[in-house]
Structure 1
């Protein structure tokens, strides 16, 4: 079980604490990291459940869940309380991200299949795409180097080596809750470094 992600939803109809969740979301929109940590604990389980039902792959579900929570952090100001509950808004993001991941994965499989049938060099647009991807990866590596050693180790183990939270905790001989905090804080710093959503 992944700490903070594979938790059971607190009710399919909502958490029953919407005013508190709305307040948390407003504080997150103002950049309150503790409010984000509290909101993370409330919504991570339901998000993982929605995502996993769509992607049907535990590893993808963990990755997409983290992407959703980063998106919640950076777009919290867009939440409009009058248009629905906090959880419904977050789960809408989760469903959209999960569908995007399935489509992206299928498109990659289709590209690989087409490439496997070709016996000549890739077209120019694929070469250009590969170059852009390499530049983006260099930028991510630079931002990773700006993290603390503990944050970087946790993020690299989880997202580059595919370790689950408990596995990261075991490798680093650290409590799973501490690993979750390191990864969450590392993701926030990466977002700020990369200028995502700015």
Structure 2
């Protein structure tokens, strides 16, 4: 390491992020060296694939470079901020992948000729989906995340626990509470729970 860049090793993360905000590439490289492994580790737990994890970690650090000015120390450490970027981008990617799968499934389904009874079923299904979306909007974020990963992305309880780095019992508890709240929402609206 060149003598000029050794000085960065002595700086605190908060000082480095300020330098990154001023577009100092050596400070950015030092932050990457400090937190790149943790970012990749979290990305791998979420994505379950080496290449996808590398891509996610790289995208997150590009976001760190672009958004360094938005870092606020009062909201948490630089490491926490970086990992939250990884986490949020990972969730976005998982949702996007699930959405693509749903769209592909809809295209396959509607490619078949629709009979009047099929059209009615489709309209009825769309109405029920809207009702479910309304119920989901009433859930706390941690319960919503677990239900989305389980029901929309198809992950098992164990995979979700590993992905979110929480105990399996916590995943099951959040799922149980979330489903209970959805049931209560439908009952409060005078609707039956969708089957």
Larger Rg computed on CA atoms: 2
Q: TM-score, normalised by structure 2?
A: 0.50
Which structure has greater helix proportion?
A: 2
Q: TM-score, normalised by structure 1?
A: 0.49
Q: Which has the higher contact order (CA 8 A, sep 6+)?
A: 1
